[in-house]
Amino acid sequence: MCAHATAQATGTEKGRAMGAKRILTLNVNGDDYEVVCAPNTTLLEALREKAFLTGTKRGCDLGACGACTVLMDGEAILSCITLAVEAEGRSIRTIEGVSDGGELSPLQQAFVDHGALQCGFCSPGFIMSATELLAENPHPERAEIQRRLAGNLCRCTGYVKIVEAVEAVAQGAEGGAR
């Protein structure tokens, strides 16, 4: 599949102008993916279009909505404004790496139980941001939850149930973050 992607892209003037593509090794959820990327390929594109990890969402393409949030060495970053080359040698965690096999993480379970999702398009990004928050501070107050998740936009829920779901985990009702 990667070889196919290379053959496709070298035909374009843009591809030539952007310089040579090369094979990057991206460590995603503990697995090494070899992907052919141009210097301007974003991490979001590499994840979605080359590694076929489509759980990470494209909402705005300019770092404004948080739908593309992933963890890089544990830090929540926006993959649509991060170049794939910057992710080489780093440890990437996406929504596909959050649940334990067929079992939801406590945070994911709390989102389900509290109705903290509707259309679901922003949900992977929220889970990644909240996972980072709870790893740093397992018991955040409501104000800190709001401040730390304010970079993730949701148009459906009005955020109430998202805050409640994170609070439930923070207060131990859902067994702590993983």
Partner 1 sequence: MKVLNVVGQRVPMHDAAAKITGQAQYTDDLVLPGMLFGKLVRSTVAHGRIKSIDVSKAKALPGVKGVITGMDIPDRVYGIVPKAKDEHALAREKVRYIGDEVAAVVAIDQETAEEAARLITVEYEELPAVFDPLDAIKEGAPLVHENTPGNVSAQIHKEFGDLEAGFAASDYVFEDSYYTHAQNHAPMEPHAALASYDALNGDLTLWSGTQIPYFLKRNLSTTLVIPEQNIRVIKPKVGGGFGQKIDMFAKDFCACWFAKELGRPVKFLYDREEVFQSTRQRHPMYLTLKTGVSKEGKIIAQKITAHADGGAYNSTAPLMITLSCFFVMIPYKIENLVYEGYHVYTNKPVGGAMRGHGIPQPRFAIERQIDQIAKRIGVDASEMRLLNAIEAGEPHPAGFIINTCGFADSVREASKAIGWAEKRGKLPFGRGVGIACASFPSGVANMSHLASGCVVQLSSEGRVSVLSGAADIGQGAETVIAQIVAERVGVPMEDVHITAADTGLCPLDAGTFGSGVTVRAGNAALNAANDIRAQLFPVVAEALGCEVDEIEAANRLFWVRDDPDRSVGMRDILRQYQYIDRSLPIVGRGAWVPPADSATTLLTNNGNLSPNYSFMTQAAEVEVDLETGRVNVIKVLTAHDCGQPINPMLVEGQLEGSILGGIGYALYEDSTCIDGQQHNPSFLDYGFPTMMELPEMEGIHIDTDDPIGPFGAKEAGEGTQLAPAPAIVNAIADAIGVDFDRLPVTPDMILAALKKQREEAAGEAR
Q: Does 95 bind partner 1 (CB under 8 A)?
A: yes
* Residue among 28, 68, 84, 124 that touches partner 1 (CB under 8 A): 124
Residue 55 near partner 1 by CB under 8 A: yes
- In the complex with partner 1, the residue whose CB is nearer, 89 or 112, is 112
Instruction: Enter the tokens of residue 63.
Output: 């770092």
Contact 62, 39 (CB under 8 A): no
Write the interaction track for partner 1 spanning residues 9-48; mark x where CB under 8 A is met and - where it is not: x-xxxxx--------------------------------x
The residue range among 25-33, 49-57, 131-139, 170-178 that interacts with partner 1, by the rule CB under 8 A, is 49-57
Count of all residues that appear for the chain in the document? 178
Across 6-102, where does the E strand assignment appear?
A: 22-28, 31-37, 69-72, 75-78, 91-93
Asked if residue 74 binds partner 1 (CB under 8 A), the reply is: no
Q: From the CB of 162, what's the least distance to partner 1, in Å?
A: 7
The count of residues interacting with partner 1 (CB under 8 A) is: 63
Token digits for 154?
A: 């949701």
The sign of the torsion formed by the CA atoms of 17, 20, 23, 25 equals: negative
Distance CA 11, CA 172 (A): 55
Among 175, 66, 163, which Cα is nearest to 114's? 163
- Which residues of this protein are in contact with partner 1, per CB under 8 A? 5, 8-9, 11-15, 48, 52-65, 67, 94-96, 98-99, 104, 108, 111-115, 117-124, 127, 145-147, 149-163
